[in-house]
Amino acid sequence: MAAIRDEFEFIDRLLREGVKADDLAVLLQGFSEGLVERGIPLLTTGISMPTIDPTSFFRASNWWREGRRPPPRPLSDRQSMRAYKESPIYDVIKRDAGNGRWKLDDPVLGERFPLFKELRQRGATEYAVSLVAFSERRTALRGTALSMVTDREGGFTADELMAVQRLLPALSLAAYRIGLLGVATDTLGAYLGPITAGRVLQGMIHRGDSRVIPAALLLADLRGFTALVDRVGAEAAISWLNERLEAIADPVAAQGGEVLKFLGDGLLAAFAAEGDAAASCRAATLAAKEIAARNLALNRRADTPGLRAELVLVLHFGEVVYGNIGAAQRLDFTVIGEAVNEASRMEILAKSLNRNLVMSRSFADLTEA
């Protein structure tokens, strides 16, 4: 009876932590330490789930027993598709098995799963993994995987693994809530930008929700994209365009700005003044310098003159309306206003004057301040 009550209390604690925590690492730490307290000799545990993030395949966290955590590996090494396909989790998914366990004293396993070779070098004796499926493919967040590793001679007992199986639904439910928040944040961030995504998640979602803000505006335009599509085809041109837009967007983000809209072969970015107009203009200036340098580097690496791009940059400062516009069921979170219109006209002026950079007086005065 006491064991059952203890199990219920553990599940209750898991669910309470899952309601409060927004970090898989916090949830996994509480779960792992709770298992250790109950006599399960864990060396390390891991929890992972697919995500909707253009920069990674899955969201994952690992816990190690105190004093045993290895040096961190680069994110690219941990989240590469090759590493995933060589993992025991992928093997279980491919076999539709739901769970698996491996004794690590078999040297053949080290060749089949490189992870096992690393774990064996750290004294591990057994690896176990269990999967819990979520909704019927309504999102990419299809389930969670829990891995457990022990360094006890002989590995896990059957009773220990059964006890974890009873706790796993509660852990997965809590992880699902955290994962859904992560999916929402990652997806909105990818399509709206992190600052705007944060405002949407905080409830700024109704048509007309907006505010007037002073901001430095950066408008970038790549000349000749239409002709490029005609020469090399749409697929090759899109790859070229993605590389060029990344060279523009990354410096904007690095200086604290946000890309608000891609305009075909260009973009519009804003640096909110946040009480310091001169600082926002300096940030936009630094971004513009880096953008120009990166575009020049890409041009130098281009195989043919036809793959080089002339870049036009517009820098302006003014007040913009930042918020939601559109139809009731289809909104666009953007900036509008006289300053945006002026920046657009400046871009047309740059073309007629054959200039690569046009800066407004309002922007220049603040940069010199």
**Residue 300 and residue 311 share a domain:** yes
The CA-atom distances, in angstroms, between 106 and each of 101, 124, 126, 129, 154 are 13, 12, 10, 17, 13
Q: CATH code at 60?
A: 3.30.450.80
Within 118-247, strands assigned E span 126-133, 143-150, 210-223
Whether the CA torsion 175, 177, 182, 183 is positive or negative: it is positive
**Residue 182 and residue 204 share a domain:** no
Amino acid at 39: G
**Residue 171 and residue 92 share a domain:** yes
The CA-atom distances, in angstroms, between 165 and each of 5, 57, 91 are 16, 26, 19
**Residue 290 and residue 168 share a domain:** no
- Select from 176, 192, 208 the last residue of a domain: 192
- Select from 192, 217, 249 the last residue of a domain: 192
Mean pLDDT, residues 57-82: 73
- Select from 166, 192, 218 the last residue of a domain: 192
Q: Which domain holds residue 216?
A: 195-368
Mean model confidence pLDDT for the chain: 83
Contacts of 191 (CB under 8 A, 6+ apart): 197
Predicted local confidence at residue 35, as pLDDT: 93
**pLDDT bracket for residue 308 (50, 70, 90):** confident
52 vs 248 pLDDT, higher one: 248
**Residue 23 and residue 99 share a domain:** yes
Range name among 18-32, 57-71, 327-341, 348-362 with the lowest pLDDT average: 327-341
Closest listed residue to residue 246, CA positions, set 234, 233, 262? 262
Q: Is the pLDDT of residue 363 over 90?
A: yes
**Residue 302 and residue 199 share a domain:** yes
**Residue 350 and residue 255 share a domain:** yes
Predicted local confidence at residue 200, as pLDDT: 65
**Residue 220 and residue 87 share a domain:** no
User: How many structural domains compose the chain?
Assistant: 2
**Residue 107 and residue 240 share a domain:** no
- Residue 62 DSSP code: E
pTM of full prediction above 0.75: no
255 vs 213 pLDDT, higher one: 255
Predicted local confidence at residue 144, as pLDDT: 84
**Residue 235 and residue 272 share a domain:** yes
**Residue 241 and residue 222 share a domain:** yes
Predicted local confidence at residue 132, as pLDDT: 84
**Residue 138 and residue 24 share a domain:** yes
Q: Is the pLDDT of residue 147 over 90?
A: yes
Q: CATH code at 262?
A: 3.30.70.1230
The burial class, CB within 10 Å (0-12 / 13-18 / 19+), for 152 is: middle
Q: Is the pLDDT of residue 117 over 60?
A: yes
Predicted local confidence at residue 85, as pLDDT: 79
**DSSP characters over 98-160:** SEEEEETT-HHHHHH-HHHHHHHHTT--EEEEEEEE-SSSSSS--EEEEEEEE-STT---HHH
CA-CA distance, 163 to 166, in Å (whole number)? 5
